[in-house]
Structure 1
Amino acid sequence: MERILVSACLMGYAVRYNGSDKKLISDTLARWRSEQRLVIHCPELAAGLNTPRLPAEIHGGSAEQVLTGVARILESDGSDVTQHYVLAAWLALRAAQDARCRFALLTDGSPTCGSQRIYDGSFSGQQRSGHGVAAALLRQHGIEVFAESQLTELIQRVADADKCRVVDAG
């Protein structure tokens, strides 16, 4: 059975920057959880960041540029927290690889987990196309990343992968 790394906030854990969750209600997620397919992980908490914490956004480039040291991640007070978020990305990758996850379901908008949209770096609430550092690193290592709005697509990809495993095993 395919394993899926999933943002802890999507599973109802109050670990977001503002101390809230972003629980995603789904019969399929509940079934996958009971089948022990889900690897529930909060990259920021794994990296030692607190809940609640100041909002953070990518400044001066993309997630890939953060990972190479060209761009930064700053909190709303101007503090540079790049290293914490880069560590969060690497810890998410390690958790996914250790559990042999081929897929990830991550919270969109986050400078760590965003997979389609992130905030634009101005702390004005404006979003732009892009992804967070964990989503970028996971993709660089062959893990398919989905936002919570793409749950239907993820369910189909997992079902297809499960069918392939059955055929390969036969």
Structure 2
Amino acid sequence: MIIVSACLCGINTRYDGKSNLNETTLKLLKEGKAVLVCPEQLGGMSTPRLPHEIVGGDGAGVLDGIAKVISADGNEGTDAFLKGAYETLKIAKEINAEYAILKAKSPSCGYGKIYNGIFSGEKISGNGVTAELLSRNGIKVYTEEDIENIDT
């Protein structure tokens, strides 16, 4: 089984209340190979919500207590992002997920590149909180940008 960001299958879970429909992930869902998650909603955040970025590092730093997740208006969302990451991991373990296909650049789901923490639109190397936690627990993480590398 594969964990997939719900927004990639057309579910309106993005911070702005929209989706990022990706036909390849939707096909996996229709074939019964995927389970949808939205770590931010699992962490208790509403949709829509203000955009968030990781300040002071990346998802590894958040998991290690060094970095924080902050909203565009300066409010801290670290606890919700951590809760959502651990809830996603719980689901992944329940379904014996080998892979995750997560939304690129997201502070939760980004893998390899995330936004830089100052809301400038620039990206830095690093992973989102959920992507980092899943990776640390042996789940291979991909984004919709490198989905062709998955052997399902």
TM-score by length of 1: 0.86
Aligned counterpart in structure 2 of residue 36 of structure 1, from 32, 47, 65: 32
Aligned counterpart in structure 2 of residue 49 of structure 1, from 45, 50, 68: 45
Alignment-derived partner of residue 129 in structure 1: 125
Corresponding position: 1:24 with 2:22: yes
Give me the whole-angstrom Cα distance separating, in 1, the residues matched to 2:61 and 2:125: 15
State which structure, 1 or 2, has the greater radius of gyration over its C-alpha atoms: 1
Alignment-derived partner of residue 88 in structure 2: 92
Q: How do 1:109-148 residues align onto structure 2 when only pairs under 5 Å count?
A: 109-148=105-144
Give me the whole-angstrom Cα distance separating, in 1, the residues matched to 2:70 and 2:78: 7
Aligned counterpart in structure 2 of residue 8 of structure 1, from 1, 6, 9: 6
Q: Which runs of 5+ in 2 are unaligned?
A: none
2:8–2:26: 8 Å Cα contact kept in structure 1?
no
Shift of 1:34: 3.2
How far does the alpha carbon of each residue in 1:134-163 deviate from its partner, in whole angstroms, 9 at most, with x for none? 000000000000010111101xx32xxxxx
Following TM superposition, the consecutive aligned residue runs of length 4 or more in structure 1 with deviations greater than 2 angstroms are 32-35
Give me the whole-angstrom Cα distance separating, in 1, the residues matched to 2:91 and 2:76: 25
Q: Provide the aligned C-alpha RMSD in A.
A: 1.1
Alignment-derived partner of residue 164 in structure 1: none
Give me the whole-angstrom Cα distance separating, in 2, the residues matched to 1:147 and 1:34: 19
Give me the whole-angstrom Cα distance separating, in 1, the residues matched to 2:122 and 2:99: 28
Alignment-derived partner of residue 163 in structure 1: none
Q: How do 1:69-84 residues align onto structure 2 when only pairs under 5 Å count?
A: 69-84=65-80
Letter in structure 2 aligned against 1:10: L
Letter in structure 1 aligned against 2:140: E
2:4–2:34: 8 Å Cα contact kept in structure 1?
yes
Corresponding position: 1:59 with 2:55: yes
Classify the secondary structure of the residue corresponding to 1:65.
helix
Letter in structure 2 aligned against 1:20: K
Give me the whole-angstrom Cα distance separating, in 1, the residues matched to 2:29 and 2:77: 32
Give me the whole-angstrom Cα distance separating, in 2, the residues matched to 1:64 and 1:130: 8
Number of matched residues? 152
